[in-house]
Amino acid sequence: MRVLLVTGKGGVGKTTVAAATALKAAELGYRTLVMSTDPAHSLADAYDLPLGDQPQEVTKNLQAQQIDSQHRLEQDWGDVREYLTDLFDWSGLRGIEAEELSVFPGMDELFALSDIKDHAASGKHDLLVVDCAPTAETLRLLSLPEILGWYMDKIFPVERKLVRAMRPVLSRVVSMPIAGEEVFDAAEGFYGRIQGVRDILTNPFVTSARLVLTPEKMVINEARRTYTYLGLFGYAVDAVIVNRVLPEEITDPYFKRWHEVQAEHLQSIEEGFADVAIRQLRLFDEEMVGVPKLRLLADELYGDIDPVDRMSESEPFQVHEDGSDVVLAIAVPFAERGEVDVMRHGEELIITVGGYRRAFILPDSLRRRQVRRAQLEEGSLRVTFGQSA
């Protein structure tokens, strides 16, 4: 099975691209399910069909589902939520605040994503296309298991035993709510589900993320940041889809400046996303809603390419610790010594190889540090960041 995550800033065309990609795959014969995890669903609008929480047929080989994430959250997290609400309530927070605090932002989408695990296990689909919420916030949340893992292995079982032994005594002595078995069960269940989803999503042979953007400065900047973070957390981006590009044939002088601006932005997209496939999609002369229009859009987007295949296989960068230093290793396969230049410019690292320039947005953890050295080793540029001065 393959999973395609379609993400990008608000309004750039994520749902349209997800719907069109799924349609194209289904028409090529893949048993496809497209699901939206964004609580503000618009998949039904894209297909111009009513859709619900359960998969529904759109065309042959294609099913679509708009997940009711709130419902999933209540189902899986209800017990923990109730306990936390009681606890916060007891500590003096008023009802509504306590309730708000018992769920962290993005958590409902996390539960929606956990459906991926069930779909993968069912064996009913060759492809899952996920129309994600506007930012990669949820994908960042998915990295929680790594942090939680240690806690779940080491502390959680001890705590659980301890509470089990102390519960009768404690509840007599203090009025503080004590977590019951069902709370521990729910926490464990949640952890297990998320762990499973993460295993699927970080396997580059299974999952590819496709970033949708438009040739506009702010959109590009956010997409580059998302790209860095996705890489940092182990999600493989295989393509960038530049949407709403003005077609050449528009010669109206009103759009002259727009053509120039878009050309500049397309250039910066080439530099910022040099490792992945870049596809363009023109601004159509109408809204692209309904199966026939989505089919047309998908044909222009993918041409003869199979949308299910990985569109690029790059592993753009890796970060690892080396004593107190942090090393950023970036693939520069054809670079030769002497033609590589590394320059730090604010939050960007600008790498020049011969006549080719690549600008890379640094993650927060590296931004605070200083570049100590850069070395070229077997097609990989290793940039060492020392402690900040």
* Site for Mg ion, rule CB under 5 A: 14-15, 42
Q: Please say which residue, 219 or 329, places its beta carbon nearer to ligand ATP.
A: 219
Q: Interaction with ligand ATP in 30-49: which residues (CB under 6 A)?
A: 38, 42
Q: Is 244 in the site for ligand ATP (CB under 6 A)?
A: yes
Q: Which long-range contacts (CB under 8 A, 24 or more apart) does 354-363 make?
A: 356/274, 357/271, 358/271, 358/272, 358/274, 359/268, 359/271, 359/272, 360/228, 360/272, 360/317, 360/330, 361/221, 361/224, 361/225, 361/227, 361/228, 361/272, 362/228, 363/228, 363/229, 363/232, 363/319
Cα dihedral 218→220→222→228 (10° resolution): -160
Q: Is 243 in the site for ligand ATP (CB under 6 A)?
A: yes
d(CA 287, CA 309): 27
Work out how close the CB of 70 gets to ligand ATP at its nearest, in angstroms, rounded to a whole number: 17
Residue of 2, 3, 4, 16 that binds ligand ATP (CB under 6 A): 16
Q: Is 277 in the site for ligand ATP (CB under 6 A)?
A: no
Q: Is 11 in the site for ligand ATP (CB under 6 A)?
A: yes
Q: Please say which residue, 140 or 282, places its beta carbon nearer to ligand ATP.
A: 282
Q: Interaction with ligand ATP in 124-153: which residues (CB under 6 A)?
A: 134
Q: Is 288 in the site for ligand ATP (CB under 6 A)?
A: yes
Q: Please say which residue, 167 or 282, places its beta carbon nearer to ligand ATP.
A: 282
User: Residues of 244-274 as b/e, b for ≥16 C-beta within 10 angstroms?
Assistant: bbeeeeeeeeeeeeeeeebeebeebbeebbb
Work out how close the CB of 8 gets to Mg ion at its nearest, in angstroms, rounded to a whole number: 9
Amino acid at 340: V
Distances from the Cα of 131 to the Cα of 17, 30, 39, 92, 337, angstroms: 9, 18, 11, 39, 42
By a kind-dependent CB cut-off of 5 to 8 A, residue 328 interacts, out of Mg ion, ligand ATP, none, with: none
Tally of CA atoms within 13 A in the half-sphere of 141 that contains its CB: 21
Instruction: Name the segment binding ligand ATP (CB under 6 A); options: 12-20, 61-69, 102-110, 310-318.
Output: 12-20
Q: Is 106 in the site for ligand ATP (CB under 6 A)?
A: no
By a kind-dependent CB cut-off of 5 to 8 A, residue 13 interacts, out of Mg ion, ligand ATP, none, with: ligand ATP
CB distance 33 to 233 below 8 Å: no
Q: Please say which residue, 113 or 335, places its beta carbon nearer to ligand ATP.
A: 113
By a kind-dependent CB cut-off of 5 to 8 A, residue 134 interacts, out of Mg ion, ligand ATP, none, with: ligand ATP
Q: Is 281 in the site for ligand ATP (CB under 6 A)?
A: yes
Q: Please say which residue, 181 or 287, places its beta carbon nearer to ligand ATP.
A: 287
Q: Please say which residue, 226 or 243, places its beta carbon nearer to ligand ATP.
A: 243
Tally of CA atoms within 13 A in the half-sphere of 8 that contains its CB: 25
Secondary structure of the chain: what % helix, strand, coil (to 5)? 45, 25, 30
Work out how close the CB of 43 gets to Mg ion at its nearest, in angstroms, rounded to a whole number: 8
Residue with tokens 């762990």: 195
Chain residues in the site for ligand ATP (CB under 6 A): 10-16, 38, 42, 134, 243-244, 281, 283-284, 287-289
